């Protein structure tokens, strides 16, 4: 059986090298080089061309190169029998929680604001809030959301969580469902989105939701650009209801030069860098699943296809 890497727009070389190091006998093709489609049983993918995998009659698994799987689940032509796996990686999780903590601290201590002031040689001291007086709400209490919540709680913040179904978490008081969301939002001063992208969560960061946040709330999106209704964010910042946002993900990446986010001083843009998968760290779990497939054993980190995560 053969292994296929499909990652247009993302360099496959580190993945190829790490796979070869870990499993020297593996027969690997890199799309679109010439290969026999019938041989391929396992694919490693990032943003594959839509409909590609229906042409592989023996394909059993599509493994995501990252934690997100929306780039795979959104392919309507992906045959039902193909299993999808995602990455669960300690380094990726730590990187995400470090990044969100940094953004939250930047906001409460106004570091970016003072950086902008420096350009104008302006000495303008503002009051600041301490972590113990600040409530951060995390939407999406999966592997990443839980780790982010724990790190924020360790750093003294009050942490609330919201998830589709109920979760029991030590440091995070978690709400669930539609009613839970109505209780959760009015308490949240800094909202962090770490939801998976599904048809139910697309456009969830919209005017209606922002309206329920207290005046002056701040939004951090480190999930997917499609969670956010961009015009609604701009309007709510313009009206002063939201104090600003830190965005790491966008509907179109790289963010187009003429996009209004670039020139909104209250929006802090980072280029999808919160937590980047490192091939050498992730390849062992990919190989483990490849071997599990060969031995007919259950795979790890399988996505529930009907849920989309
Ligand atoms: C990155 O966005 C990922 O899903 O790993």
pLDDT, tens digit (0-9, with 9 covering 90-100), for 234-250: 999 999 999 999 999 99
Identify the pLDDT of residue 199. Answer: 95
Are 38 and 79 members of one domain?
yes
Residue among 98, 241, 214 nearest 160 (CA): 214
Identify the pLDDT of residue 170. Answer: 83
The one catalytic residue among 110, 235, 272, 305: 272
Closest residue CA from atom 5 of ligand 1 = 66
User: What percent of the chain shows pLDDT beyond 70?
Assistant: 100
Are 114 and 240 members of one domain?
yes
224 CB neighbour count, 10 Å cutoff: 23
Residue 303 lies inside a defined structural domain of this protein: no
Query: Pocket of ligand 1, candidates 277, 301, 309: which has the most ligand atoms within 8 Å of its Cβ, to mutate?
Result: 277
Total number of domains constituting the chain: 2
Are 32 and 118 members of one domain?
no
* Residues 117/170, Cβ–Cβ less than 8 Å: no
Average pLDDT on 251-259 reads: 97
Tokens 């953004």 belong to which residue? 103
Alpha carbon separation from 93 to 35, 49, 89, 102, 147 (Å, rounded):
35, 28, 6, 14, 7
SS3 207: helix
The Cα 45–Cα 14 span in angstroms is 14
Tokens 């969560």 belong to which residue? 201
- From ligand 1's centre to the CA of 275, what distance in Å? 7
The Cα 290–Cα 252 span in angstroms is 32
Told to judge if 224 belongs to the known catalytic residues of this protein, a careful annotator would answer yes
Told to judge if 292 belongs to the known catalytic residues of this protein, a careful annotator would answer no
- From ligand 1's centre to the CA of 27, what distance in Å? 26
Residue 220 parent element (H or E): strand 217-221
- From ligand 1's centre to the CA of 189, what distance in Å? 25
Rg (CA), the chain: 21
Are 175 and 223 members of one domain?
yes
Q: What tokens does 19 get?
A: 């796979």
User: What percent of the chain shows pLDDT beyond 90?
Assistant: 97
Average pLDDT on 39-56 reads: 98
Mean pLDDT of the chain: 97
The Cα 109–Cα 296 span in angstroms is 53
Residue among 87, 184, 170 nearest 137 (CA): 184
Query: Pocket of ligand 1, candidates 67, 145, 195, 301: which has the most ligand atoms within 8 Å of its Cβ, to mutate?
Result: 67
Sign of the torsion angle spanned by Cα atoms 13, 269, 93, 101: positive
CB 196 less than 6 A from any atom of ligand 1: no
Residue 240 lies inside a defined structural domain of this protein: yes
Average pLDDT on 284-306 reads: 97
220 CB neighbour count, 10 Å cutoff: 26
Are 98 and 209 members of one domain?
yes
Indicate which CATH number applies to the domain containing 7. 3.40.50.720
> Any bridge partners for residue 44, and if so which?
5, 63
* Residues 161/172, Cβ–Cβ less than 8 Å: yes
Are 233 and 195 members of one domain?
yes
CB 161 less than 6 A from any atom of ligand 1: no
The one catalytic residue among 71, 86, 224, 268: 224
Residue 307 lies inside a defined structural domain of this protein: no
CB 277 less than 6 A from any atom of ligand 1: yes
Are 61 and 182 members of one domain?
no
Tokens 């969100």 belong to which residue? 100
pLDDT over 90 at 97, yes or no = yes
CB 67 less than 6 A from any atom of ligand 1: yes
Domain of 225? 90-269
């Amino acid at each position: 059986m053969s292994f296929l890497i499909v990652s247009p727009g993302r360099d496959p070389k580190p993945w190829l090298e790490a796979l070869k190091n870990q499993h020297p006998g593996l027969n690997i093709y890199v799309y679109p080089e010439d290969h026999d489609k019938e041989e391929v049983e396992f694919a490693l993918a990032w943003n594959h061309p839509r409909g590609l995998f229906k042409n592989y009659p023996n394909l059993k698994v599509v493994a995501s190169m990252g934690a997100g799987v929306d780039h795979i689940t959104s392919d309507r032509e992906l045959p039902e029998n193909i299993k999808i796996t995602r990455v669960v990686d300690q380094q990726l999780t730590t990187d995400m929680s470090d990044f969100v903590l940094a953004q939250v601290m930047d906001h409460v201590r106004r570091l970016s604001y003072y950086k902008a002031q420096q350009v104008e040689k302006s000495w303008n001291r503002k009051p600041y809030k301490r972590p113990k007086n600040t409530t951060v709400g995390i939407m999406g209490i999966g592997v990443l959301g839980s780790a982010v919540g724990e790190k924020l709680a360790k750093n003294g913040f009050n942490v609330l969580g919201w998830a589709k179904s109920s979760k029991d978490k030590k440091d995070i008081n978690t709400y669930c469902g539609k009613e839970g969301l109505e209780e959760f939002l009015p308490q949240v001063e800094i909202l962090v989105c770490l939801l998976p992208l599904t048809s139910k969560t697309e456009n969830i960061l919209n005017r209606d939701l922002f309206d329920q946040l207290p005046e002056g709330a701040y939004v951090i999106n480190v999930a997917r650009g499609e969670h956010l209704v961009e015009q609604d964010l701009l309007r709510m910042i313009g009206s002063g209801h939201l104090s600003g946002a830190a965005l790491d993900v966008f509907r179109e990446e790289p963010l187009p030069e003429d996009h209004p986010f670039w020139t909104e001083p209250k929006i802090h843009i980072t280029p999808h860098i919160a937590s980047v998968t490192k091939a050498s760290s992730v390849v062992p779990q990919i190989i483990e699943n490849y071997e599990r497939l060969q031995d007919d054993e259950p795979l790890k980190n399988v996505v529930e296809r009907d849920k989309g995560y």
